[in-house]
Amino acid sequence: MQGYMRGREFVPFEKVTRLSVADDDLGDWVFVGVIVGKSISRAAAAATPAGATSAAPASSVFGSATSRKYCVMRLGDLRGNVINAFLFDRTFDRHAGEAVGGVFAVLNPRILPCTERFGIVGLEIDHPDKFLRLGTSVDFAHCKAVADGQEKCSTVIDRRFGEYCSKHALANLKRSRARRQELVVGDAILSIRDQNGNRMNSETKPTPRGALYVIRPGVTVSVDDGKADAFVSGKPSAPAPLSKAM
């Protein structure tokens, strides 16, 4: 693993979430993230060249007249920061089956333009060797809260900071204050903070959604994260040591 990192700039995950296409000249860089969700397999349809008829064979911008299979790995840092990583071709073939909870180093991905102004950063991993498995996160967990409809919260959390996501931790605090009159009145001011050290309030920030990303000029691919079945999650596989091949 040290051989892969030598000479490369390590970019903190939080900084990766703020990248734009203007930053697509970072040079030789790497970041590390945890798979917190993954899409079902999809197919990017071939593009029809300008002036071509629908009856003519399509010449895909991907170099093929057939559709191109891909999937989206949602990578995160277990602190609420996430990005969408697109896996195509050989990268898809090798890594589409990776389990949620896996820890990966990503080398020199291509930053994709997003059609949404405040969408999640999208990256294309164009070679299977640029998506390196380091092991499995022992801190990966899902919020243990259960909604009124008996549906378990799917928010990914860092188990080192508790068993609930920010939203449900705050809800638990409010219930505790309602039950204990001495916490409702008086001069005492209580608050809880998330794993980033930020004070929680009653407002929940909406999760930014980047539904479309520009893969090539005139061609976009969809994340469809507004659909219930767009991303699937599950229990992480058993913790594994670093691969000797690394």
pLDDT at 56: 35
Percent of the chain with pLDDT over 90: 35
**Mean pLDDT of all residues in the chain?**
75
Contact between residue 13 and residue 81 where contact means Cβ atoms under 8 Å apart: yes
Q: What's the one-letter identity of residue 31?
A: F
- β-bridge mates for residue 122, sequence order: 84, 112
Residue 30: the pLDDT is 94
pTM to 2 decimals?
0.72
| pLDDT tens for each residue of 127-172 | 999 999 999 999 999 999 987 677 888 889 999 988 988 888 888 8
User: What confidence tens digit (pLDDT) does each residue in 2-58 have?
Assistant: 666 778 899 999 999 998 887 767 789 999 999 999 988 887 755 444 444 433 333
Question: Exposed (0-12), middle (13-18) or buried (19+): which is 163, by Cβ within 10 Å?
Answer: middle
Question: Closest by alpha carbon to 85, among 103, 106, 115?
Answer: 106
